[in-house]
Amino acid sequence: MRRREDGSVAVLPHPDDPDPSPLLGNVAGALAHPTRVAAPAVRRGWLEGGPGPSDRRGAEEFVEVGWDEALDRLAAELARVRDRYGNEAVYGGSYGWASAGRFHHAQSQLHRFLAMFGGYTGSRNSYSLGTSLVLLPHLVGDAEEVLRSASTWQTIEDATELIVAFGGIPAKNVHVVPGGVTRHRTPSRLAALAASGVRVALVSPIRDDLPEELDATWYPIVPATDVTLMLGLAHTLLAEDLHDRRFLDRYCTGFETFEHYLLGRADGVVKDAAWAAALCGIPASAIAALARRMAASRTLVTVTWSLQRIQHGEQPVWAGLALAAMLGQIGLPGGGFGHGYGSMGDVGDDGPRLRLPRMPSVPNPVRTFIPVARIADMLLHPGESYRYDGTTRTYPDIRLVHWAGGNPFHHHQDLNRLRRAFARPDTIVVHEPYWTATARQADIVLPVTTTLEREDLGSGRRDSHLIAMHRAVEPLGRARDDYAILAALAVRLGFGDRFTEGRTAREWIEHLYASWRGDGRPSFARFWADGELELPPGPRRLTLFERFRADPEGAPLGTPSGRIEIASATVAGFGLADCPGHPAWLEPGEWLGAPAAARHPLHLIANQPATRLHSQLDVGETSQAGKVAGREPLTLHPDDASARGITAGALVRVFNDRGACLAGAVLSERLRPGVVQLATGAWYDPSGSLCVHGNPNVLTADVPTSQLSQGCTGQHALVEVEPYAGDPPPLTVLRPPSIRSL
């Protein structure tokens, strides 16, 4: 950060960063934007009428109050809900990314506070990987190990001949890692791959999911049909005896079940290349040829996380693993199965994976939790039961929702439904730096500092440095740190000393550093003055699959068989129609072939935005520069556009039976006809059921991946697009809501 002569602030990349993130461009302009929350604010109806369900959320003005009044009222309300309904009635899952910094991590602070308060209903897993985190333990024992065990980019460069990339390796995503990245190394890794001659089979409806410079063959697949292509490839390997029987016998269990399925022994449907071609839109000859190339090469099968963020999202992950197992290269350098190359900047990175300084966590005394993406179901259906990972659970009755560091009106599906769900609780509290849609739907909004306004320790997974994050500017308005807010609440609720342990934020940061640093590292004062500390390279350890391959009996996987489970008796035993015991093709509930699809014949991909992190800093320069006609850009094929009378730059309405949004048309031949793309994260700006800004989550369905994992399915929806005639409703999200000042 640097202050210019006129007093404004410039945010600059680290001088040693080989590939600074374009997302940095959002930070400076957003810092003092009018949409910052400047003072504590309470919804008028809540202030005057007290807590209770209300459909006036998001529609009423706010009243600014002083900090003491806000905190007194909130502490009293927390105590009321706890005493009357029990701690389970407080939902504190508070999913979201918040911002970089090891100490001021909003969700960790809130969880610690609520645990000391007596507990809260929490959430499990993530929107990112909610499906794989439940499925993979059944298949290979440990989901995290699969991610940690990815071949590094260097190994791929040295050893891999062919990458079959389902979902591609999108360059737009790799600047991002939870916690931050000091030096962005992945973009140059991808460039080096191009130079090394590794060839890539790009399987995606969108050509830009792979950097242009890589030597690629593009397979423009019909969205949601990757499983059929994987099965067609697997059938070809089987039919032509190209599969590795020895590997399957020695390291896997359940291949016979899968083989029977491929051969159609039970359902009479042979899953050969011709069958696959009819569903996935890739010619049968191309499928067979690709299978042969895969068997003849050192091949890495990669599946992006996006593929498990759709209905039946278990299947592409499971089928991809089974396909890699048939090639027999799991555990060999540069071969086998990878999950998340191009989804996150640290997958494939060879940076150290060290323990980082972190807040001591406090166990939550309440055992109740939901799979994270079931929030609307929970709020709308207290007492109802649902399946999750083989168990049957019951939704609690939530009276108070406390959120810090996330934006459910960005991240959740079917936002019109989420609004109905958010009308149910007595009280909704949101800590936010910005007037996001979630803040606007709340009763009590507490203004929070941003990273530039406070001190912290910064580092991401596999990061090369620990950063001394100095305060760059004074907090805006009356904003406070989440920590300070929660400490003040804890004092009012009688556990102030326990929460703070007597430390200021600066003293905590020193304490976290001191308890982490061990011998040989500089003192805190030295580190703070230097501004950063280089982290040593981690020891080169064998990956899970390398250990397993070397010694399957001595280093078995943590599965019931100790092997890779191509079929799982455990999953089969759950008896779920939407997730059988082996990889299978299951049509999505909403499907182009279905009669209902005739009215909404375009397949929408709602992927991660290139111009921001989720919904964060949407008012920033980089994000705003990407808007078309003032709205989020919707990319569609010129044929689909001309069939609808849509021209480049035109304002369009994207709609289905759940809702509609406006967007600005961009035409491109780099996506499959029939497919349209609208990134997530435009700030939700409702005018009735229409979002006038272009948030695709008014269109997505709030249905789980399956009853196994209950994951998020936000990546896809079926829609129709038409030109928008007339004067569009104005955007309202670029200014604050209506607030009566003190």
Ligand X SMILES: Nc1nc2c(c(=O)[nH]1)N[C@H]1C(S)=C(S)[C@@H](COP(=O)(O)OP(=O)(O)OC[C@H]3O[C@@H](n4cnc5c(=O)[nH]c(N)nc54)[C@H](O)[C@@H]3O)O[C@H]1N2
Q: Which residues are catalytic?
A: 95, 97
Is the Cβ of residue 151 or residue 616 nearer to ligand X in the bound state? 616
**Region near ligand X per CB under 6 A, out of 402-410, 583-591, 653-661, 731-739:** 402-410
C-beta neighbour count of 71 within 10 angstroms: 21
388 strand-pairing partners: 391
Q: Which does 469 bind (CB under 5 to 8 A by kind): Mo ion, ligand X, none?
A: none
Is the Cβ of residue 248 or residue 356 nearer to ligand X in the bound state? 356
Is the Cβ of residue 128 or residue 257 nearer to Mo ion in the bound state? 128
Q: Which does 97 bind (CB under 5 to 8 A by kind): ligand X, Mo ion, none?
A: ligand X
Is the Cβ of residue 170 or residue 736 nearer to ligand X in the bound state? 170
94 binds Mo ion (CB under 5 A): no
Number of residues that bind ligand X (CB under 6 A): 60
Q: What string of DSSP letters covers 548-583?
A: HHH-TTTS--SSTTSSEESS-HHHHHTT-TTS-SS-
308 binds Mo ion (CB under 5 A): no
DSSP classification of residue 452? G
In the shown chain, the binding pattern of residues 586 to 615 toward ligand X, with x for contact by CB under 6 A and - for none, equals -------------------xxxxxx--xxx
Is the Cβ of residue 257 or residue 709 nearer to Mo ion in the bound state? 709
Cβ atoms of 418 and 495 within 8 Å: the answer is no
125 binds Mo ion (CB under 5 A): no
Cβ atoms of 284 and 277 within 8 Å: the answer is yes
306 binds Mo ion (CB under 5 A): no
Of 712-731, which residues contact ligand X (CB under 6 A)? Answer: 714-715
Rounded Cα distance between 368 and 384, Å, is 14
For the sheet containing 465-469, what is the strand order? 456-458, 465-469, 532-534
- Binder to ligand X among 622, 680, 705, 707 (CB under 6 A)? 680
The secondary element (H helix, E strand) that includes residue 72 is helix 67-85
Six token digits for residue 296: 């003849």
Is the Cβ of residue 248 or residue 486 nearer to ligand X in the bound state? 486
432 binds ligand X (CB under 6 A): yes
Residue 246 CB, nearest approach to ligand X (Å) = 30
318 binds ligand X (CB under 6 A): no
63 strand-pairing partners: 42, 740
**Region near Mo ion per CB under 5 A, out of 125-133, 169-177, 456-464, 685-693:** 125-133
Is the Cβ of residue 203 or residue 379 nearer to ligand X in the bound state? 203
Cβ atoms of 461 and 445 within 8 Å: the answer is no
The secondary element (H helix, E strand) that includes residue 316 is helix 314-327
Rounded Cα distance between 735 and 33, Å, is 9
Rounded Cα distance between 735 and 740, Å, is 14
In the shown chain, the binding pattern of residues 155 to 194 toward ligand X, with x for contact by CB under 6 A and - for none, equals -----------xxx-x-xx--x------------------
Of 322-351, which residues contact ligand X (CB under 6 A)? Answer: 343-344
Six token digits for residue 428: 């909704």
Of 502-561, which residues contact ligand X (CB under 6 A)? Answer: none
- Binder to Mo ion among 54, 94, 128, 228 (CB under 5 A)? 128
Q: Are strands 675-678 and 602-605 parallel, antiparallel or unpaired?
A: parallel
DSSP classification of residue 655? E
The secondary element (H helix, E strand) that includes residue 69 is helix 67-85
Question: Which residue is nearest to ligand X, using beta carbons?
Answer: 714
Q: Residue 333 region, left (φ>0) first, then alpha (ψ -120 to 50), else beta? A: beta
- Binder to ligand X among 31, 134, 147, 221 (CB under 6 A)? 221
How much is the CA Rg of the chain, to the nearest whole Å?
Answer: 26
C-beta neighbour count of 250 within 10 angstroms: 13
Binding residues vs ligand X (CB under 6 A): 96-99, 104, 106, 127-128, 166-168, 170, 172-173, 176, 203-206, 209, 221, 223-224, 226, 304-307, 309, 343-344, 404-407, 410-411, 431-434, 436, 448, 482, 605-610, 613-616, 680, 696-697, 700, 714-715
Binding residues vs Mo ion (CB under 5 A): 128
